[in-house]
Amino acid sequence: MSTVGLYVPGTGFLHRIPAAAKLLALLLVGVGLIIAADPRIAVGALVAALVLHPVAGLSPWRAWSALRALWPFLLAIGLFQVLFGEWQTGLRLCAQLTALVLFANLVTLTTRVREMLDLFERMARPLRHVGANPDRIALVLALTVRSIPMAASAWRAAREGYRARGLSGRPHLLVVPVIVQLLRMADATGEALIARGVDEDTRR
């Protein structure tokens, strides 16, 4: 693992926006979509998220990569709503989830880990008065944000190996490979952090 996280270097406008502004925008978009509860607005947000990827200098593959592990859940939600509810509700929920995942993906791909750490450290500073270490809190939060795409990657790798071996009808066999892949990623992340002196910095 050469880097901690999935940051993609670039000069697009999203790369130049501070991490705090991007996270605030993500929060506002999420709250807005939930409050509006309108399929048209949800679909519009989904289209905007898709368009923003190439506008920000990111290939469409980046968007698809973020959604590959999500589509079975979207399909299940959509079918459930069509069968037992209203198709408009299913469309809204699926569009909302997809849009938010894509917007979060944009934040992840265009924000350096150091920026995220600095932001979380500033947010956690008031906790210093109750004995907490803001640096440690910032590190945990930043790695939590970055671990979501890593977990999806581990699932995809295990599923591809599952299919390559011609296995079917035994999904429980995916559990161990996923756990092993996550442990390897965690180990690689720890080595990368130590190599960058992050662990030593948080002890000061």
Q: Would you say how long the chain is, in residues?
A: 204
Same domain, 170 and 105: no
Whether residue 67 is contained in a domain is answered as yes
For residue 201, the model assigns a pLDDT of 45
**Distances from the Cα of 112 to the Cαs of 5, 61, 94, 189, in angstroms?**
8, 20, 29, 15
pLDDT digits (tens, 9 = 90+) for 148-189: 666 767 777 777 777 777 666 566 666 777 777 777 766 766
pLDDT digits (tens, 9 = 90+) for 76-98: 888 888 888 888 999 999 999 99
Domain boundaries, position 52: 1-111
Same domain, 87 and 149: no
Whether residue 123 is contained in a domain is answered as no
What lies within 8 Å, CB to CB, of 144 at 6+ separation is none
Q: Which residues of 104-119 are buried (b: 16+ CB within 10 A; e: fewer)?
A: bbbbbbbbebebbbbb
Same domain, 69 and 106: yes
Same domain, 135 and 104: no
Residue 142: pLDDT band (50, 70, 90) is low
For residue 76, how many other CB atoms are within 10 A of its CB?
11
Same domain, 132 and 103: no
Residue 26: pLDDT band (50, 70, 90) is very high
Whether residue 116 is contained in a domain is answered as no
Whether residue 165 is contained in a domain is answered as yes
Same domain, 96 and 139: no
Same domain, 73 and 166: no
3-state helix, strand, coil in the chain (%, to 5): 80, 0, 20
For residue 106, the model assigns a pLDDT of 93
- Of the three residues 63, 78, 111, the one that is the final residue of a domain is 111
